[in-house]
Amino acid sequence: MKDFKSLSQEIKEKLGMNVSPVGVLLTDSMPEDALHFKKKGSGCVANMIYNSAKGKTFAFDENATGLPCSAFYLGYTEWIFDGIEGFLSNECTWGREPERFIKTPAIAKEFVKSYIPKQTRKGAIVFKTLELFTENEKPELVIFFVNADQISALQYLVGYGAPREERIISRFASACMSVFTVPMEYAERGEKKAVWGFHDISVRSKMPKDITSMTFTWPLFEEICGNLNESFLTTEHWIKLRERN
């Protein structure tokens, strides 16, 4: 594989992206140059992850996890908060109106329980553009923030070598779940999977309206990179779409 800076620039150019692919790095400690929350419970990680595509490095650890939901879905805690099942469903919780994302509290509770980490995470999770990775670092995941044309291109790159495989997943998930928690399930098993995400209704108002995400496990990302120059990205069909973006 080429160096990360050259690879990232090539991908951006071929897909017509305005922001960079973001790599997810697991480390023992918080990098000194990373931006992060100053305390627990102080904000949502989703916007920070999106902004990492613009060249900023963000990191989280057990002392800087953001909101309780972020702390849980990043793997640092064993539960979100008492009453989360009602808040996700149809009950007022701690004075807050319910989100009504899940039909009943019982279904919501089972959903959250299915994501309880086997053991709470130690160390830090770093989000930074691929350009900033060194040759001694390897991302666990690579996140693309893309529009409809670009996500179509990624879908076709995923299918290029295995058009009948079910390689793209899209689940009910919060924004941080869709770019980290769910794809990490596949990464830990070494699977070639991509997760289409950032559908979170509570977060989308803070995002450009045409942007969603697709997160790749490293093995699948390596595969699509190997196919860039021989795929449809060189054809007139794609060039027309790239030019309008």
Average pLDDT (24-42) is 88
Mean pLDDT of the chain: 95
**Cα–Cα distance between 52 and 226 in angstroms, integer?**
25
172 closest CA partner among 146, 141, 195: 195
**Cα–Cα distance between 137 and 19 in angstroms, integer?**
21
Residue 219, pLDDT > 80, answer: yes
The helix/strand/coil state of 144 is strand
Residue 214, pLDDT > 80, answer: yes
- Provide the pLDDT for residue 2: 67
141 and 187 in contact (C-beta within 8 Å)?
A: yes
Amino acid letter, 143: I
Per-residue pLDDT tens digits for 80-126: 999 999 999 999 998 889 999 999 999 999 999 999 999 999 999 99
Per-residue pLDDT tens digits for 61-77: 999 998 999 999 999 99
Per-residue pLDDT tens digits for 156-184: 999 999 999 999 999 999 999 999 999 99
Tell me the HSE value of 43 on the side-chain side, using a 13 A CA sphere: 11
Residue 6, pLDDT > 80, answer: yes
The pTM (predicted TM-score) of the whole model is 0.95
84 and 93 in contact (C-beta within 8 Å)?
A: yes
- Provide the pLDDT for residue 42: 72
146 and 152 in contact (C-beta within 8 Å)?
A: no
Residue 1, pLDDT > 70, answer: no
Band (21; pLDDT cuts 50, 70, 90)? very high
Give DSSP secondary structure letters for 14-44. HHT-SS--EEEEEESS--TT-B--SSBTS--
Q: Strand locations in 116-193, DSSP E?
A: 124-129, 141-146, 168-169
Residue-wise burial string across 140-156, b where 16 or more C-beta atoms lie within 10 A, e elsewhere:
bbbbbbbbebbbebbeb
Residue 41, pLDDT > 80, answer: no
